[in-house]
């Protein structure tokens, strides 16, 4: 399980240090893709395969299903952690998530998210204000 929040800088070549706590669970290679809320999602291969199977079952006749799978799979790339603990994030993914310098890498259960620090702070502040309401709505999911 991935959890925690870590600040790292992305260098001019698009490399960012993956927190040591995450590296072992990510495995030798993993998938990174466009996520929701203008961040990137990274999945270990086994989690990616499970998600892929679920998305394959979506009906092609539904426009939203086609749009989501296009969005999700077209940005997906396989990554590896180098000897310095860094990953290279391709330019289109950096552009999508506005990754320029300061970044935040967070663990979210079965995935990792990579955020531009300013976007994360903005999202967190907005969510924090409505956290009680969000928590109340989660009660519908037996949480």
pLDDT in tens, the chain (143 residues): 999 999 999 999 999 999 999 999 999 899 999 999 999 999 999 999 999 999 999 998 999 999 999 999 999 999 999 999 999 999 999 999 999 999 999 999 999 999 999 999 999 988 877 877 777 777 776 65
Q: Can you give the pLDDT at residue 143?
A: 58
> How much is the pLDDT for 77?
98
* Six-digit token string for 2: 């991935």
Q: pLDDT (tens digit, 9 = 90+) per residue, 42-62?
A: 999 999 999 999 999 999 899
Q: Which residues of 102-139 are buried (b: 16+ CB within 10 A; e: fewer)?
A: ebbbbbeebbbbbbbbebbeeeeeeeeeeeeeeeeeee
Neighbour order of strands in the sheet with 40-44: 2-9, 102-109, 111-116, 40-44, 29-34, 77-80
Cα 124 from Cα 41, distance rounded (Å)? 17
pLDDT of the residue at 135: 77
Rounded (5°) CA angle 132-138-143: 110
Across the chain, how many H-helices and E-strands are there?
A: 6, 8
Locate the domains of the chain by residue range.
Answer: 2-116
Fold of 2-116: Chemotaxis protein chec (3.40.1550)
pTM for the model stands at: 0.91
- Eight-class DSSP state of 77: E
């Amino acid at each position: 399980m991935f959890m925690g929040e870590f600040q790292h800088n992305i260098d001019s070549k698009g490399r960012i240090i993956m927190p040591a706590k995450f590296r072992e669970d990510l495995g030798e290679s993993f998938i990174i893709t466009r996520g929701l809320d203008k961040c990137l999602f990274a999945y270990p291969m086994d989690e990616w395969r499970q998600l892929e199977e679920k998305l394959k079952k979506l009906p092609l006749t539904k426009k939203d299903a086609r749009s989501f799978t296009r969005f999700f799979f077209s940005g997906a790339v396989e990554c590896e952690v180098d000897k310095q603990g860094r990953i290279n994030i391709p330019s289109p993914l950096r552009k999508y998530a506005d990754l320029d310098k300061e970044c935040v890498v967070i663990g979210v259960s079965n995935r990792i998210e990579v955020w531009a620090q300013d976007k994360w702070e903005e999202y967190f502040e907005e969510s924090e204000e409505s956290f009680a309401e969000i928590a109340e709505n989660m009660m519908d999911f037996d949480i």
